[in-house]
Amino acid sequence: MRYRAGMSFAQLESQFRRISHLEHVSAILSWDEAVMMPEASGAARAEAMSTLGVVVHEHLTAPQLHDWLAAAEREAAAGSLDAAQRANLREMKRLLQRANALPSHLVEARSRAQLRCEQAWRRQRAQNDWNGFAPLLREVVKWRRESAALLGGVLGLSDYDALLDEYEPYGSSADIDRWFGELREFLPGLIDRVLEHQRSQHAVIPQGPFPTLAQETLGRTLMEAVGFDMQHGRLDVSHHPFCGGVPTDVRVTTRYEETDFSSGLLGVLHETGHAKYEQGRPVAFMDQPLGQARSMSIHEGQSLLQEMQISRGREFLQFATPHIVRAFPFAVAAQPAAFTAENLARVVDMKDAYTGAHSERVALFVEGIARRLGLDAVLVEQLKLAGRLHDLGKIAVPDQVLQKPGSLTPDEELKLSTHPELGASLLDGMDIRPVDLWIRHHHENWDGSGYPDGLAGEEIPFGSRVILVADAYDAMTTERSYRPASSPDAALAELERMAGVQFDPVIVAALKAHLVEAGLVADPPQRAAVRLVA
């Protein structure tokens, strides 16, 4: 049975249809700003898009909507709306409640700050100019925090949950804690087994150059093969891959490195996962709240399903390999063994595996050291957090440096050496001292030869010394594309050789005791001295 909606619900539908059209324009402008816009046009575009954001907000906070909503709820109670219309009404109410919690001046200032920050990131990322970027990021955080406080007060939620509700409707931090708790039960062991399997595999890393045009053609071919509709979308280049636009006009972007075709291709396939979700949204509700993407986790789940599961599967790679071979005939002729389906499967299995698990393993080694030193529970948890976040600053280091399959040049070493300071800066203002301090100094050496400040001995914060030892041990015992993994015994021997030079001898002794207890090394345990921690 098809219900005939009442007048008030129909008025709400019409209003949200207009809002959808405005958001359509905003989405295409946003894509253009990131892909096509001349750099010098950024300030004017930020003002225009901020104004458009205010217009959308005014449509959401128009006074008559309150009466329309109340009347539509009475229509629903009287049975005048079907199930889909009632669900649409529920989503309308949620969006109106969130919009009315925020004043227009805040919406405008927040939008302007975000656009200016993103535009600056594109320029300053290439220059590695964190000091120039940080004030703009702080401005974004300031407006987000103010938004969170206002939303939380209206919705009866914590600041964090009020912001989470924008991306994960009706979700909560308690849900996340429960889900992550379940993951922690099995994930570390699973990661170890996967990495152990990967260490047993030998992969021939394909060597370029891989021309950008050939990469783009290959990406388009595989996008269409997995179901992307090129009549309602396109592929372009941007500073960072993203999926934007609207379901009837989806804009996918990636970036290319001529030394590594897999990074650009996997970026295309990841964003295609997002794009297919957008193109598959229900046409009947395309311009209504009910037809919007449900949540960020579902959206990201679709992209990761495509990139990490389907596109790395043996069957997909068997299908894709002939296309890859045709795209890069000169590279294939020079290195045919690298371009078999079996080898390409091993290559994509290994890609980024180190980065993905490294921080979690460092946190586990940090915990083992801390417990051998008899530290209290609060300090142990702080150290574990620092272990997980110690490489946070690498998000500002160019991918071609982080993923380079070989030794770094002096200039690349310099770029990489900025990551401790960058990581500490990202945590600035988050009230998690001394974690940010430990991260800043986790590459200081015992003899004063480290960075960024050349601290020596006990001048180096205690937590930094712990992270350095755990980080070095995990780095040595993990295989990289440019060197094999060291055995646990060999890595420990190197730590002991450098104790008193690069590493705090007490921390090395504590790690040794932990490794012996865990059965990872055969040396007899030596009781680590316990030093008072200031």
pLDDT one-digit tens code per residue, 270-315: 999 999 999 999 989 999 999 999 899 999 999 999 999 999 888 8
8 A C-beta contact, residue 220 and residue 264: no
Active-site residue flag, 271: yes
What token pair was written down for 91? 């989503």
What's the chain's average pLDDT? Answer: 88
Q: How far is CA 58 from the centre of its chain?
A: 32
Q: Give residue 521's pLDDT.
A: 82
Read off the pTM.
0.71
State the burial class of residue 504 (Cβ atoms within 10 Å of its Cβ: 0-12, 13-18, 19+): buried
| Catalytic-role residue among 271, 278, 421, 444 | 271
Q: Give residue 349's pLDDT.
A: 64
Residue 403: band (very low, low, confident or very high) from pLDDT cuts 50, 70, 90: low
C-alpha–C-alpha distance, residues 346 and 65, integer Å: 56
Q: Tell me how many helices (H) and strands (E) the chain has.
A: 23, 3
Q: Give residue 145's pLDDT.
A: 94
Q: Does the structure show a pLDDT above 50 at 531? A: no
Q: Does the structure show a pLDDT above 50 at 323? A: yes
C-alpha–C-alpha distance, residues 36 and 15, integer Å: 31
Among 205-209, 230-234, 330-334, whose mean pLDDT is lowest?
Answer: 205-209
Residue 530: band (very low, low, confident or very high) from pLDDT cuts 50, 70, 90: very low
What token pair was written down for 92? 């309308």
What token pair was written down for 191? 């990661």
Residue 405: band (very low, low, confident or very high) from pLDDT cuts 50, 70, 90: low
CATH architecture of the domain with range 353-517: Orthogonal Bundle (1.10)
Q: Give residue 355's pLDDT.
A: 53
Q: Does the structure show a pLDDT above 70 at 103? A: yes
Q: Give residue 431's pLDDT.
A: 64
Residue 491: band (very low, low, confident or very high) from pLDDT cuts 50, 70, 90: very high
Alpha helices in 340-376 (DSSP H): 341-350, 353-372
Structure confidence by residue, pLDDT tens digits, 348-360: 666 555 555 688 7
Name the helix (H) or strand (E) containing 223.
helix 212-225
Q: Give residue 383's pLDDT.
A: 93
Report domain extents, the chain. Answer: 7-173, 212-283+294-350, 353-517
8 A C-beta contact, residue 365 and residue 514: yes
Please give the full DSSP string across 39-98, using - where no structure is assigned: GGGHHHHHHHHHHHHHHHHHHHT-THHHHHHHHHHHHHHTT-S-HHHHHHHHHHHHHHHH
Kindly state the percentage of the chain with pLDDT values over 70.
92
Stretch 218-237: mean pLDDT: 96
Residue 65: band (very low, low, confident or very high) from pLDDT cuts 50, 70, 90: very high
